[in-house]
Every structure is written in C-alpha cells, then in structure tokens.
Chain A
Amino acid sequence: MAKGGTQSRKYRLQGAGLDLALPYLMLAPGLLIVLGVLVYPLWDGLRASTEAYRYGSVVANVGMQNYIKLWSDPQFLNALWVTVKFVALSVTFEAILGFALALFCLREFRGIRLLRTILIIPMVITPVVVAIVFRLIYASDAGMLTAISEWMGGGQVQILGSPVKAFFGLVVLDVWEWTPLMFLILLAGLQSLPHEPFEAARVDGAGNWRVFADLTFPMMRPVLAIAIVLRTIDAFGTFDQVFVLTRGGPGEATRLVSIYGYDTAFKFQQTGYAAALFVTIGLVVLALAFSAVRLLRRVDAS
C-alpha cells in the first residue's frame, strides 16, 4: 500500500466532537508523568551542573567551570578510558559469541529448548545478584576458582587484587550476563531470513563458509548492528555490577564513569561537579546513538 494512502485513511478516521481531543487525552497521562519525573529533573540537573557545592550546600555559581575541570581531572579521564575499554571489549565478545551460538542453534535439534531456557537465566537474574555470584567465584578465599584450584592441588587464585585481572573479571561477568541477549536477538534475526537465497546457493554448491560470507552475514548486518548499538548504550550505564563486585577497585582499574560520578556526588559531596559529569556522559551516549542510527540509515540506503 502506498504511503499516502495510509495517511489519508488515518485522517478519515478522526471523527468529530470528543474524538478530536482524543489523541491529546491519550498522550497526556504518560507525557505528564515523564515530564514531571524525568524531564524536570533533567533540567534541574543542568542547573546544578553550573554550581559548586560545599558541605552539602550550594556555595557559588561557577558557570561552565565544572565542565572545563572535567577534562583536566585525571580520575575522570581514567574512568572514561576504563568505560570505553569495558564497553568495547564486552560488546565485541558478546556479539561474536552470541552470533556463533545463534548459528549453531539455527538447525533444530534435541535439547535446543532446554538450552534456550537455561540461557535466559543469566540475563534475568538481578544484576546485584550476578555480581554477588561473581564475587563468590573470584574471591581468593571463598571463591569457586580457588576451591577448584585447591581441589586440583593448586593454590589460591587471585582475581580481584590485580588491576588487569579484575578488569577482565568484570568483562567476563558482563559477557556471562549479556551474551544470551545477543544470542536471542541474533537467533530471531536468523530465523526471520528468507529461505530461497540459501536454497539457491546450496543448489549452486556453495560451501558453508561461502554461504555465511556471501549471504548470512550481509543479510544479518542490520540486526547485528542494532543489537550492538542497544548493548553499547546499556553497557555505558553499567553500575550495579561494579558497585557490588569491586566498587571500582583495585585502585581505579574498574572504576567506570557511573561509579566515579556516584562517588563524586554522594561520597565526596561534589554534587555540582558530578551533575556536570553526568550531563557530559548523557550527551556522549546520545551522540553515539544518533550517529549510529544515521550510519545504519546510510548503509540501508546504499
């Protein structure tokens, strides 16, 4: 059906009287709640980001000073770098593993339903509990890795004490928790692909690799891209898991911007500075999301 056709039909649907006000009445409740609880605070946050706090009270309006200070604050820059590394590594692993697993499960076989059921568990478990699970795995005394190592005659396993290992420990946690989501999205994508091109390719005698490189991957690109963008946005806001697992340590090795911002606001009472930090992060994520959408559109068009 032509686009114009749909539109004219919708105009026709709008009746007279109360029905004219209906769209506004239906939009109002949701919009009012969102305006009150999310948008007003967002505005308030912008205001707070120009203020300096001391002992929990505003002491001065410092204009853009907080924003400028961010870029010479080594702890913020470190947190940003850690966050970028964390997001890039986690999402890459999740996409690769998820895609491989989805391809593997594409052909129905016995046990696949069980597999899918089990794979739901990591992503529905409360993130706080996921972090508890991984503390129980990594802890050098009570941990599963240490218990297994000692059972096999080895010594204690240290993860959370070394900056490098703790960071990768966090990445492993994220991959454990979120690969299933990647898997489910990509599996749904694979299942919705048309059959004909694949059958044709098989008839032509194309091997597995050729089918994947020439058909599956190109056709899956949009779904893959969207899944990656969704996960990236989510991963940028990661907080709970780090808060419980390492609280940013050892040193600053796992201190994501969310944790640094939280501590700055609540522990060190630099509320205005923290507000500026969060506004900056919000803008970065939005810019990322919109440029990704634009890129997707361009790829779609070509």
Chain B
Amino acid sequence: MNSRLARIGVMSAVLAIVLLPIYWLVSTSLKSNREITQEGTLYPHVPTLDNYIRLFTEKQFGAYLTNSLVVTFFSVAIALVAGAMGAYAIARFRLPFAMERKVGLFLLTLRIVPPVVILIPVYLLMLKLGLLDTWLGLIATYTAFNITFCVWMMESFFREIPVDLEEAAMVDGDSRFGAFRRITLPLAAPGLAATAIFAVLVTFNEFLFALALTATPRAMTMPRGTATLIGRIDTDWASMSAAGVIGALPIVFFALLVQRHLVRGLTMGAVK
C-alpha cells in the first residue's frame, strides 16, 4: 500500500514538473500582451488566437516551416544513403592499413567536437560558395553533421546482421552490392529508422548554424525564425510563446508517433 502511494506521488511529481512549464507556454500563447505582463493570470481569462494568426500574417512562419521541412528532409535523406553505405563498408570490409577503422574513428572524432568550434569557418565557406541564406547551404552543412553520426550508429546495426545471409545471396548470383541492397539493408531497417528519426530530431531543432547561415525568410528554419521574436528591447511575450508552440508542435508530434524507435535510437549507443 505504501509503495503504491509512493509510486503515485513520484508519478504525479514527474508529470507536474514536465507538464507545468508546457502548460504555461500554451496558456501564455492564448493571452494578450496586456494580460501577460500586467495581470499575471493563471489561465487565459480572455483567450485569443490572435497571437497565432499574427505569426502567419505579419510574420513569415509559413516560410519558416517550409524551409525546415525541405532542409530536414534532404539533409537526412542524403546522410542516410551516404551514411548507410559508409557504415556498411566499415562494418564488413577489411582494407589495407586498417583504413576503414581509421575512417570510422575519424568520423567519431568529428562527432565529438562541439559544432560551435567550426561555426566561423563553415560560415566563411558558405560565403565563398555564395550559399549563405540558401537551402543548399543548410542542407550541405546538416548532411555533413548527420553523416558523422549516421555512420557511427549504423555500423553497429550492420555488425549485428549475420554475414551468412549475404553469402547465401551471393551464392544465388547476387553481386556484393546487390546482397547489401536486397538482404542487409532490409534487415537493418529498424536501425535505419532509429537513425533517421534521431537525425530528423537533431536537424529540425538545430539553431546555431541556422543563426549564422541564414538571414531572411528565404532560408530561415523554424528555430531561427522563432528566435526573431526573442527580443529583449521590446519583448512580445504573446507572439514569442505562440511561436514556441508552433515551433515545437511538429517535432513533438513526430517524436510521439515514432516513440518506440526514438527510444531505441537514443539509448542504443550507450547500452551496447
């Protein structure tokens, strides 16, 4: 009986700690600025959707969403294809001078370096290439970052799959690449999914490089667009909180849909 009470207590505490801040965000987004700063109400007394409407009429949140979707889709897709091939090569082949292992270690090293370290030179590179404030500039950057951890995650998935199955396929007349495509890749699908989901999360949420590489709604992603409203000079709490809700909604929705694979992807690296 006692332990049941304790359980209920801990459960409610955790739920409250996680959900109250989110409640406050949503509730603030439904108030007017005057109600927010001068009345300090606990729930919206005069609920309004104006804040949301403004984001799409006066601000360019439609464009931010489109940019985010395009950039996330392409950088994850390209990184998955390139990363899966690279990971397979590292997992299965033994090259002269243990080259494949060195490549793996090298990519892991790059993954460890905090991204902010290469912010300035990446910015200068995109500038030289004329890719500032473009989808392509962001896609190139995010693809490269995604590849470093796609290779790292997928390599271990490929190692789990028995070599025998590929050999059997090759005996049946498949080429090496054919065996990879028809046998190994489908078997590694859960791993690919987990990797892809993780990549989507990281890419959709990325802010630092979006901040440096974009300047206008032509390429600004959701987090970057949201940050145009965080002003300290004249804080528009109402718009800011509505932007927070809109900015987080797609990714939270996505994460809850693919929950199971997400957890697998997040925890895999550490537990193995």
Contact = CB atoms under 8 A, between A and B. Distances in A.
Task: Please tell me whether chains A and B touch each other in their complex, using a CB distance cut-off of 8 A.
Answer: yes
Interface of A: 7, 9-11, 13-15, 18-19, 22-24, 26-27, 29-31, 33-34, 36-45, 48, 101, 104, 109, 111, 115-122, 124-129, 131-137, 139, 141-142, 144, 146-148, 150-151, 176, 181, 184-185, 187-189, 192, 223, 226-227, 230, 233, 236-237, 239-240, 243-244, 247, 258, 261-262, 265-266, 271, 274-275, 278-279, 281-282, 285-286, 289
Interface of B: 7, 10-11, 14-15, 17-22, 24-25, 28, 36-38, 40-42, 78-79, 81-83, 85-86, 88-90, 92-95, 100, 103, 107, 109-110, 112-122, 124-125, 140-141, 143-145, 147-148, 150-151, 163, 166-167, 170, 175-177, 201, 204-205, 207-208, 211-212, 222-223, 226-227, 230, 232, 237, 240-241, 243-244, 247-248, 251-252, 255-256, 259, 262-263, 266-267, 269-271
Main secondary structure of the interface of B (DSSP, over half): helix
Main secondary structure of the interface of A (DSSP, over half): helix
A26 B18 contact: no
A176 B163 contact: no
Contacts of A48: 120-121, 124
B95 A38 contact: no
B248 A125 contact: yes
Contact of B244 (A129, A261, A282): A129
A236 to B, nearest CB: 6
9 shortest A-B CB distances, which residue pairs?
A237-B114, A41-B121, A37-B144, A30-B82, A30-B86, A26-B85, A188-B267, A282-B117, A124-B255
A240 B223 contact: yes
Contacts of B94: 7, 10-11
A278 B119 contact: yes
Contacts of B267: 184-185, 187-189
